[in-house]
Amino acid sequence: METNVKLAKGGAEGGGAELPEGAVAVRTRNLYNRMEWAGAFGDIGTLIPFVVAYISIVKMPPLGLLFMFGITLLASGLYYRTPLPIQPMKAIGAAAIAGGISPAAVYGAGLTTGLFWLVAGVTGIIRPIAKLATKPVVRGIMLGLGLTFMVDGIKRMRGAPVLAGCALVITYLLLTNPKIPAMFVLLIIGVVSGMIMNPEVMSELASIHIGFKLPVFSIPMISWNDLITGTLLFTIPQIPLTLGNAVIAIVAENNQLFPDRKVTEEKIAISQGIMNLVSPLFGGIPMCHGAGGMAGHVRFGARTGGALVILGVILVLIALFFSDSVSIIFKIFPNAILGVILFFAGSELAIVVKDIGDKKADFYVMIIVTAFAMWNMGVAFLVGVILDNSLRRGWLKI
């Protein structure tokens, strides 16, 4: 038994290791050390921009949005015990922000999205679809997503190149430092530089006040028209992206990093179904498990679900006590610092493709899928499956 406990502990601290034949896997406990605290902030590069946009443009109440985000992070961390992230669904978020849609339509999209993924997971429909995703297809999706994060990060860094350059260098120097987590230094740089670059933030911070509030039940706000609008405009376009990034890619990434805590496509689909059926009831947005988010958490030190629990508790506390001041709090972090975080998360995800091997056909499929993935995950998956099968059956030659 002592050997088994040691194996489980090693998986938690080192990102996972294959168990020897005959060894019994032990339920890994979540850790809450300084590296988990640092890793907890590894995905705020995507979280903060979407939250701010939902609140300021779509006019969604921050209380329910942050409360449900935090609760879902807590549930994911405690259940999966890996840094299996919670992220805003990007296609739905982008469409809502650009289209001037009401919060009720976003809630409607969450309900129909949740129903779709719950049915897909419970019935097992997701299994034969996932089996079509061979290694070159999956690695292409992961590389495409990683490069997309890196490009987005660079675009954000261009607004303050000197600050971004200094932050990049310091982060690289501290990435492997076991005593000084790079994320802590990065957050300090972000807060200090944010106050220097935007002095009026200081006076705004003084206006922050504590006021306890509970989220409101949102079902009475949702009409049949909201459900139809949410389904047609948001849910259907989001499905291919979620399939590639938040089901196939996240399962591959989690199982490679943490083989002692594997997940399945069915489990992830059901998980996304449940959280999206519950989230809108209390004012939450559509959410998913994104592969880029796990890369960010892991890159900055997370090895267990403790990082998600930490971030979840922080968001729940902000929601319950500071919901009226959320926009002010998030102004502290300059866009350039968020760009640095995105850049490192993307590089962590992209480097996973190093195990693709030396077969020309596999590498070719991966590159083609990567290119399409930087545009549309669903199209990338479809192109990859067709191309990979055509090459394997000898219908095409390169």
157-171 tens-digit pLDDT: 999 999 999 999 999
Per the listing, tokens 């083989």 go with 259
Treating both helix axes as pointing N-terminal to C-terminal, what angle do 161-174 and 182-197 enclose, rounded to 10 degrees?
Answer: 160
Q: Evaluate whether residue 9 is within a structural domain.
A: no
State the Cα–Cα distance between residues 49 and 152, nearest whole angstrom: 12
Number of folded domains that form the chain: 1
Confidence of residue 14 (pLDDT cuts 50, 70, 90): very low
- pLDDT of 4 > 90? The answer is no
What pLDDT, on the 0 to 100 scale, is given for residue 223?
Answer: 86
- Residue range 345-353: mean pLDDT, rounded: 87
Measure CA 202 to chain center.
Answer: 30
The 10 Å Cβ neighbour count of residue 33 is: 14
What pLDDT, on the 0 to 100 scale, is given for residue 311?
Answer: 97
Confidence of residue 3 (pLDDT cuts 50, 70, 90): very low
Lowest mean pLDDT of 8-12, 59-63, 170-174, 283-287, name the range. Answer: 8-12
- Residue range 195-209: mean pLDDT, rounded: 78
What pLDDT, on the 0 to 100 scale, is given for residue 27?
Answer: 67
State the Cα–Cα distance between residues 176 and 359, nearest whole angstrom: 32
Q: Evaluate whether residue 286 is within a structural domain.
A: yes
State the Cα–Cα distance between residues 366 and 33, nearest whole angstrom: 37
Nearest to 310 by CA among 43, 37, 54: 37
Burial class (CB in 10 A: 0-12, 13-18, 19+), 212: exposed
> Do the beta carbons of residue 30 and residue 77 sit within 8 Å?
yes
Nearest to 211 by CA among 64, 62, 314, 322: 322
Average pLDDT score over the chain: 86
What pLDDT, on the 0 to 100 scale, is given for residue 269?
Answer: 96
What pLDDT, on the 0 to 100 scale, is given for residue 2?
Answer: 34
Q: Evaluate whether residue 305 is within a structural domain.
A: yes
- pLDDT of 85 > 50? The answer is yes
Confidence of residue 16 (pLDDT cuts 50, 70, 90): very low
What pLDDT, on the 0 to 100 scale, is given for residue 100?
Answer: 66
Confidence of residue 210 (pLDDT cuts 50, 70, 90): confident
- Boundaries of domain holding 355: 31-392
Q: Evaluate whether residue 88 is within a structural domain.
A: yes
State the Cα–Cα distance between residues 92 and 230, nearest whole angstrom: 9
- pLDDT of 6 > 60? The answer is no
- Residue range 13-35: mean pLDDT, rounded: 61
- pLDDT of 317 > 70? The answer is yes
- Give the phi and the psi of residue 17 in degrees, each rounded to 5: -145, 150
Q: Evaluate whether residue 262 is within a structural domain.
A: yes
Nearest to 48 by CA among 83, 93, 78, 91: 93
- pLDDT of 23 > 50? The answer is no
What pLDDT, on the 0 to 100 scale, is given for residue 194?
Answer: 84
- pLDDT of 265 > 90? The answer is yes
State the Cα–Cα distance between residues 192 and 202, nearest whole angstrom: 11
Q: What is the 3-state secondary structure (H, E, C) of 96-123?
A: HHHHCCCHHHHHHHHHHHHHHHHHHHHH
* Residue 40 CB partners (closer than 8 Å, separation 6+): 297, 302, 307, 308, 310, 311, 314
Count the helix, strand and coil residues of the chain and give each as a percent rounded to the nearest 5: 75, 0, 25
For the ranges 174-178, 244-248, 366-370, the one whose mean pLDDT is highest: 366-370
- pLDDT of 360 > 90? The answer is yes
What pLDDT, on the 0 to 100 scale, is given for residue 107?
Answer: 92
> Do the beta carbons of residue 216 and residue 283 sit within 8 Å?
yes
Letter for the amino acid at 206?
A: A
- Residue range 287-293: mean pLDDT, rounded: 90
- Residue range 104-109: mean pLDDT, rounded: 90
- Residue range 179-194: mean pLDDT, rounded: 88
Q: Evaluate whether residue 81 is within a structural domain.
A: yes
- Residue range 133-152: mean pLDDT, rounded: 89
Q: How many residues belong to the chain?
A: 398
What pLDDT, on the 0 to 100 scale, is given for residue 42?
Answer: 92
Confidence of residue 26 (pLDDT cuts 50, 70, 90): low
Nearest to 303 by CA among 258, 361, 273, 355: 258
> Do the beta carbons of residue 365 and residue 72 sit within 8 Å?
no
- pLDDT of 10 > 50? The answer is no
Confidence of residue 99 (pLDDT cuts 50, 70, 90): low
